[in-house]
Chain A
Amino acid sequence: MRRTAHGHVPEGARSLPCAPAQSGARVVRLGATSLRARESARARSPLPSSDPFPPLTLPAFENFEDFMKEQIPEAVFWCVAVGLLAVTVLLVRQRGITSLLRRRNAELAEDLRTREEEVRHLVAVRLPALEDHGPQQQPVPGLGLLDARLAGSGFAKSLDHVLERFATAVEHAQSRADQSAKAALKSSMRSIQALANEQQVAISDMQDRHDRPDVLRDLLEIDHANAQFGRRAQAIAVLCGSWPGRQRSTSALIEVVRGATSRIRDYRRVQIHGQADIAVESRAVEPVVLTIAELLDNAARHSQPNTKVEVNVQSVHNGACVIIDDAGVGMDAHATERAAALLSGRHAVDVTRLDDPPQFGFAVIGVLAARYAFSVSADTRSPYGGVRAVVFLPSALLTHRDTAEEPPVTAPPARASARTPAASPRTPESAGTPAASARTSESAGTSEPAPSPSPAAEPSPGRSAGLPLPAEASTTVGGLPKRRRRAPASAQAQTQAEPAAGVQDAPAPVEEPGGRSAEETARRMGAFARGTLHGRAAQDAEQDISGTPHEDEGNIQG
């Protein structure tokens, strides 16, 4: 049996000793195994065979073989079909998932790139723009998001938050820097101003003391330099929040403009025209002087040295205007715009952001204009080709002044106010000068308040005919005869409407109707003057005592 089997049974059948005991599933596998075995046997057999499946001759296996032949391919087919289907479904699904993931990935990458770009934009553009723009509150141009798709997202909000924090920090830092710079400048300028004022007093004293023209020339130069120096310090101090300084008496606008002229380098090029009957309130004198001085300085600095700077003072509907024309180079549109912004005084000036070298002029004017409610514009062209600057002073800052009184009254007070510190040394000085003159007259010889002129010196009281002449004659404690000084100009102006003509005519008819020659008057006046000198030499303080000196002298002499 075994041999037979060896002889006839193919290897495939022989390898199935326990096949009947197998279940169906096993059969399938066995079938597959047998197929494989057959194939391998075929490969091993050297004989070429046309039939891939040589007929199984073993009848015992016919049914099984049939069974196998019919069942296995079907099962396999179905299995494969199902498998393929599953794989296909899986593949399709996988493909969908993959593409979804890829898309998502791309989106995320894009998103990331956008955000990176956005952050880069924030660092490179938005923050510097904010930084440059300064602490102003208005929106800064070019500060928006780079990509509009991000608008409204949490990321954009975070960026805005960063921007906000940065702006606040920048603002704080800037205001702190500005404040400390201002404080430092202000205190140092104050001390410089004090020194300049002190020096001005000293210079004024020297001008009074020294009579020689050479000395005076040098003193005038020093004085001029000192005035400019003081103005610079004052301007910077005002810009840093300090007050303009000295309180002055009400002054004619013309005088104010002249005062401003005295503080610039090229004061000789300034020509002033205008009415004298407009006066500036005392509180506004110094700011207006400073404002006009800065404008004049600009005008003179930016024009040829051989040109004139014209100043016109005009009264307008509800105020007065000071118009300053120069024949210089003018300003371009950008400069005009910047000047207008500074002159308006609306924005706080950052002292650390003025140009290099710093341009204080317009900024100071803006501060003063805002503080004292006047306005300054420099945006028109002058007919001479340069800039026309116009200072408009509202009526609130002005008073009216009678022109008839103008020259005698305003001149001395304005000057006295212009150097208040110097005014006090002035009084002893005016007493000191006559003392000197007394010396010279003594050295000249026989000068003495002549007896005969003194009764005749009646004309001198008469000269100021409108004056109430105090009758009480007196002597000083020391027994000196008191002489009344010539009527003070102010008193004269107060009491008299027409000081010049009326007084001039008065002496001749009143005193000596016969008339007196100018020489005689002069002689008498000379005597009067010398007498006054002697009298004043002793009593500085009691200069303006009332009393008719001539009667005095007459009494003494008599």
Chain B
Amino acid sequence: MRPYVVTDGRSHPTRNTLDLVTLLIAADDLPLTGLSPEKRALMELCRPGALSVAEVAGHLALPVSVTKVLIADLMDSGHIVTRAPIPSARPSETRILQEVLDGLRARL
């Protein structure tokens, strides 16, 4: 399926607040009828919990920019709620960063 069919030819999302790591949370109560297959698949992906935009794009095998158009539509229709990507997680631990760095070095 070509992306222009998925977005119906649109390239600009209706809102500009989406980031790659914006988290998507599906609304439970809204029916999925009338949604395109891609939007339905997106809702199914997000239903169990929350996913980032990048992951959704990966699962749908769509370009991120195209996925953003879909997500913006779903946000407009109230199917999806987003969260800012930075949760109230604690600052990073240096140890795990160090481990990742070491691992990368060992690998590359």
Contact = CB atoms under 8 A, between A and B. Distances in A.
Contacts of B93: 448, 451, 557
B83 A519 contact: yes
B103 A478 contact: yes
A537 B86 CA distance: 19
A262 B87 contact: no
A416 B96 contact: no
Contacts of B38: 411
Nearest to A251: B1
Given A267-B4, A480-B99, A407 B37 contact: yes
Interface of A: 204, 207-208, 210-214, 216-217, 219-221, 223-224, 227, 254-255, 258-259, 261-262, 267-268, 276, 406-408, 410-412, 414-416, 418, 423, 426, 430, 433-434, 436-437, 440-441, 444-453, 459-460, 463-464, 475-481, 486, 488-489, 499-500, 503-504, 507, 518-519, 521-527, 529-530, 532-534, 537-539, 553, 556-557
A553 B89 CA distance: 15
A346 B63 CA distance: 44
Given A217-B12, A448-B92, A479-B102, A254 B87 contact: no
Contacts of B51: 486, 525, 529
A441 B37 contact: no
B91 A426 contact: no
Contacts of B54: 430, 433-434, 437, 529, 533
B97 to A, nearest CB: 7
Contacts of A258: 1, 5, 37
A507 B11 CA distance: 36
Interface string B83-108: 10111111111011101101111111
A213 B23 contact: no
Contacts of B40: 407, 411
Interface of B: 1-5, 7-9, 11-13, 19-21, 23, 25, 28, 37-38, 40-41, 44-45, 47-52, 54-55, 57-66, 81, 83, 85-93, 95-97, 99-100, 102-108
B86 A444 contact: yes
Given A223-B3, A406-B37, A479-B103, 7 more contacts: A212-B65, A258-B5, A267-B5, A267-B9, A499-B44, A525-B52, A537-B104
Nearest to B45: A489
Contact of A211 (B7, B50, B64, B108): B64
A221 B37 CA distance: 22
Nearest to B23: A522
B28 A522 contact: no
A523 B63 contact: no
12 contacts: A204-B63, A223-B3, A262-B1, A408-B41, A437-B19, A500-B47, A504-B48, A507-B49, A521-B50, A524-B87, A525-B49, A557-B93
A217 B12 CA distance: 8
B70 to A, nearest CB: 12
A446 B60 contact: no
6 pairs of A and B residues whose beta carbons are closest in the complex = A448-B92, A523-B87, A450-B89, A480-B103, A478-B107, A217-B11
Nearest to A447: B86
Given A207-B3, A258-B1, A530-B21, A213 B13 contact: yes
A524 B106 CA distance: 29
Secondary structure of the A contact surface, majority rule: helix
A211 B91 CA distance: 29
Contacts of B61: 412, 415-416, 423, 426
Contacts of B107: 476-478, 480, 538-539
A423 B92 CA distance: 34
Contact of B65 (A216, A434, A539): A216
Nearest to B61: A415
Given A411-B41, A441-B21, A499-B44, A526 B103 contact: no
Contacts of A445: 86
A248 B103 CA distance: 39
B5 to A, nearest CB: 4
Nearest to A434: B54
Nearest to A493: B44
Nearest to B16: A213
A526 B65 contact: no
A223 to B, nearest CB: 6
B87 A412 contact: no
A454 to B, nearest CB: 9
B65 A503 contact: no
Contacts of A220: 3-4, 7, 9, 11
